[in-house]
Amino acid sequence: MSDDFMLDTDDLERRMDGAMANLRTEFSSLRTGRASASMLEPVMVDAYGAMTPINQVGTVNVPESRMVTINVWDKGLVGKVEKAIRESGLGINPQLNGTIIMLPIPELNEERRRELTKVAGSYAENARISVRNVRRDGMDQIKKAKGEGMSEDDQKIWEGEVQEITDRAIKTIDEMLETKQGEIMQV
């Protein structure tokens, strides 16, 4: 390997791990018929000119196993919170009661389970895209070093290492998706 070029593979792995951690968070939002406050974590609201998590604009409670309530602190944001939930892809129909938004969690039927597996698939694809972007950054660093005099052999070695890290991350994402889809389809 080149004496003067050192690719920070730890940084690449850390960034790919971040994509997988984000995927875990998104998967935790896909509940299989039970209410949970964490199901709203990936939902962002356009509040005060910035995208804000729901738990920063109101109190999220789970009063019963099939109901989530959000007590929105600012009356002016109730409509925006409701819109964010409708557009989130969670398949929940919010019901307004003043500043309280109630989210009845429907019983999962076969069609809804299939929808949720598609949502899980899109979350996994977004994570794969993030991993591939990190891979591209690593490859760009290697190409730049090649232009600055790195040997072709060293280039191949570094590219192989970056590809190996990427393949491991993609494999983990695929395993996580398979596990989550199994959970969703389980009756």
Distance (Å, whole) CA 106 – CA 34: 9
CB-CB contact of 78 with 54 (8 Å): no
Q: How would residue 4 be classed by pLDDT, with cut points 50, 70 and 90?
A: low
Average pLDDT over residues 136-154: 91
CATH of the domain at 141: 1.10.132.20
**Residues 124 and 168 placed together within one structural domain of the fold:** yes
Burial 22-58 (b: 16+ CB within 10 A, else e): ebeebbebbbebebbeebbbbbebebeeeebebeebb
Q: Domain of 78? A: 33-104
**Residues 136 and 95 placed together within one structural domain of the fold:** no
Query: What percent of the chain is predicted at pLDDT more than 90?
Result: 42
Residue 162 is assigned to a structural domain of this protein = yes
Which residue bears the tokens 């590809």? Answer: 163
**Residues 83 and 65 placed together within one structural domain of the fold:** yes
Q: How would residue 47 be classed by pLDDT, with cut points 50, 70 and 90?
A: confident
Residue 7 is classified by DSSP as -
> Which one of 77, 104, 131 terminates a domain?
104
Residue 2 is assigned to a structural domain of this protein = no
CATH of the domain at 64: 3.30.1360.40
What does the pLDDT read at residue 6?
82
pTM, 2 dp: 0.66
